[in-house]
């Protein structure tokens, strides 16, 4: 189980210094961190992994994969395909899976953070630390087996060795910010081996060790003398391509972008119009309001723990909306326009836009609908709105 002390990224990579990690290694080069001195309990020992595999409704042809020498097993060889509706996912068959593992296959349990609170706790701290989507897959292989040949990943990796030992080879080559996987097959496998470069280092991962690999780093691994179980935490911050959708949303409010384009047969008119739009884009993308868009986009990857704490219930705080208003986007940021007054909103613009449309709302519902908003930020805005008479605290008893 996860120790209650493990609440930060510093706890996760201890004893390595997180400041040094971000300055010298994050996104730059691989790093092996020994478990010495880390206050982190094993999130996935063998008994717990077996328990999670027993959550049979979750495991199907997508969430559970079986590989043999880098080749994915056909679903009929490890799933129950006897009664699968069109477009449905065939459930994994434990008996078939065990039979293939006996032949020397390896098991990959995808997105295990969805069914393991212990693993999910670490994924959440990585989401918050790096403003990124994060999750975990588990790799289970057996004596002297290499499940995958040389390859690279499309995201950063923190590989945590949970059980057994594994020999990792890390190569000099690194793909240039890859976003698409290399297609499977012998030809691609040969190309990866030929292009991996010299061996950068090799390391035997022992229980509790962490291996960090930046996106695109070539590597492969072989299991030691006993069965191995490791958790790969993946971290995927948004890249520059994600800005296009944010820009589209921001640009929609501007008349220049909603206007028709000139006929492309009139090259001069089109060139002039595109030049005007490019200047608008430059102004948009460099504005403080767009920086807030990016901040909220990064925050949107955070997930909350499923802490119901039943039968205890917290009595909600309700508010009634007494004045109407609207949220306006300005280059310097978002503001609430109410009675000809403008209230700066910081990163809370979308939450305020929602609450101003409600006759009544609860604070908990507001937070739940806008999980990327910091609780302290929205509380400050609500307190100001109460003083202004925009909203009124309401007793629902």
Mind spelling out the 3-state secondary structure of the chain?
Answer: CCCCCCCCHHHHHCCCCHHHHHHHCCCCCCEEECCCCCCCCCCCCHHHHHHHHCCHHHCECCCEEEEECCEECCHHHHECCCCCCCCCCCEECHHHHHHHHHCCCEEEECCHHHCCHHHHHHHHHHHHHHCCEEEEEEEEECCCCCCCCCECCCCEEEEEEEECCEEEEEEEEECCCCCCCCCCCHHHHHHHHHHCCCEEEEEEECCCCEEEECCCEEEEEEECCCCEEEEEEEEECCCHHHHHHHHHHHHCCCHHHHCCCCCCCCHHHHHHHHHHHHHHHHHHHCCHHHHHHHHHHHHCCCCCCCCCCCCCCCCCCEEEECCCCEEEEECCEEEEEECCEEEECHHHHHHHHHHCCCCEEEHHHHHHHCCCCCHHHHHHHHHHHHHHCCEEEECCC
Q: What is the pLDDT of residue 85?
A: 82
Q: What is the pLDDT of residue 4?
A: 39
Output the six-digit token pair for 179: 């976003």
Output the six-digit token pair for 292: 């807030």
Say how far apart CA 37 and CA 271 lie, in whole Å. Answer: 62
Helix 267-285 / helix 243-251 crossing angle, nearest 10 deg: 100
Q: What is the pTM of this model?
A: 0.91
Closest Cα to residue 213, out of 269, 264, 151, 271?
Answer: 151
Beta strands 64-68 and 71-72 are antiparallel
Q: Which residues pair with 55 in a beta bridge?
A: none
Say how far apart CA 26 and CA 32 lie, in whole Å. Answer: 12
How many CB atoms are closer than 10 A to CB 166?
A: 24
Residue 184 burial by CB count (10 A; 0-12/13-18/19+): exposed, middle or buried? exposed
How many CB atoms are closer than 10 A to CB 24?
A: 11
Q: Tell which CATH classification among 1.20.140.10, 3.90.1200.10, 2.60.120.650, 2.160.20.10 matches the domain 9-236.
A: 2.60.120.650
Say how far apart CA 161 and CA 85 lie, in whole Å. Answer: 38
Q: What is the pLDDT of residue 6?
A: 54
Output the six-digit token pair for 57: 């409704």
Report yes or no: 67 and 73 within 8 Å, Cβ to Cβ. Answer: yes
pLDDT tens per residue across all 397 residues of the chain: 444 345 789 999 999 999 999 999 999 999 999 998 676 789 999 999 999 999 999 999 999 999 998 899 999 999 999 988 888 899 999 999 999 999 999 999 999 999 999 999 999 999 999 999 999 999 999 999 998 999 999 999 999 999 999 999 999 999 999 999 998 888 999 999 999 999 999 999 999 999 999 999 999 999 999 999 999 999 999 999 999 999 999 999 899 999 999 999 999 999 999 999 999 999 999 999 999 999 999 999 999 888 888 898 888 999 999 999 999 999 999 999 999 899 999 999 999 999 999 999 999 999 999 999 999 999 999 999 999 999 999 987 6
Closest Cα to residue 105, out of 134, 64, 137?
Answer: 64
């Amino acid at each position: 189980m996860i120790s209650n002390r493990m609440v930060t990224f510093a706890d996760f990579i201890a004893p390595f210094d997180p400041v040094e990690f971000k300055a010298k290694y994050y996104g730059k080069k691989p790093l092996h961190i020994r478990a010495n001195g880390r206050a982190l309990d094993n999130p996935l020992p063998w008994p717990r992994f077996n328990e999670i595999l027993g959550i049979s409704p979750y495991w199907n042809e997508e969430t559970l994969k079986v590989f043999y020498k880098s080749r994915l097993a056909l679903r009929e060889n490890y799933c129950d395909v006897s009664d699968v509706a069109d477009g449905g996912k065939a459930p994994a068959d434990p008996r078939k899976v065990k039979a293939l593992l006996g032949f020397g296959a390896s098991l990959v349990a995808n997105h295990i953070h969805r069914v393991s609170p212990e693993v999910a706790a670490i994924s959440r701290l990585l989401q918050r630390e790096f403003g990124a989507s994060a999750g975990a897959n588990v790799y289970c292989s057996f004596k002297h087996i290499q499940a995958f040949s040389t390859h690279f990943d499309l995201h950063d990796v923190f590989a945590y060795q949970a059980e057994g030992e594994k020999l990792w080879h890390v190569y000099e080559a690194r793909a240039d910010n890859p976003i698409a996987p290399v297609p499977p097959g012998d030809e691609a496998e040969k190309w990866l081996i030929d292009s991996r470069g010299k061996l950068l280092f090799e390391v035997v991962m022992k229980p509790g060790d962490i291996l960090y690999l930046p996106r695109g780093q070539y590597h492969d691994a072989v299991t030691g003398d006993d069965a191995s179980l490791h958790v790969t935490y993946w971290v995927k911050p948004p890249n520059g391509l994600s800005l296009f959708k944010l820009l589209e949303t921001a640009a929609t409010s501007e008349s220049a972008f909603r206007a028709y384009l000139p006929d492309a047969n009139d090259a001069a008119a089109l060139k002039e119009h595109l030049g005007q739009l490019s200047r608008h884009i430059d102004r948009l993308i460099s504005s403080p309001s767009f920086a807030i868009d990016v901040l909220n986009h990064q925050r949107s990857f955070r997930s909350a723990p499923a802490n119901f704490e039943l039968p205890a219930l917290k009595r909600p705080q309700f508010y009634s909306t007494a004045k109407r208003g609207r949220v306006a986007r300005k280059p310097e940021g978002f503001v609430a326009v109410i009675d000809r007054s403008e209230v700066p909103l910081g990163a809370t613009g979308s939450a305020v836009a929602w609450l101003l449309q409600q006759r009544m709302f609860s604070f908990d519902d507001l937070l739940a609908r806008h999980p990327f908003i910091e609780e302290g930020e929205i509380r400050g805005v609500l307190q100001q709105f109460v003083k202004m008479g925009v909203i009124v605290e309401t007793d629902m008893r």
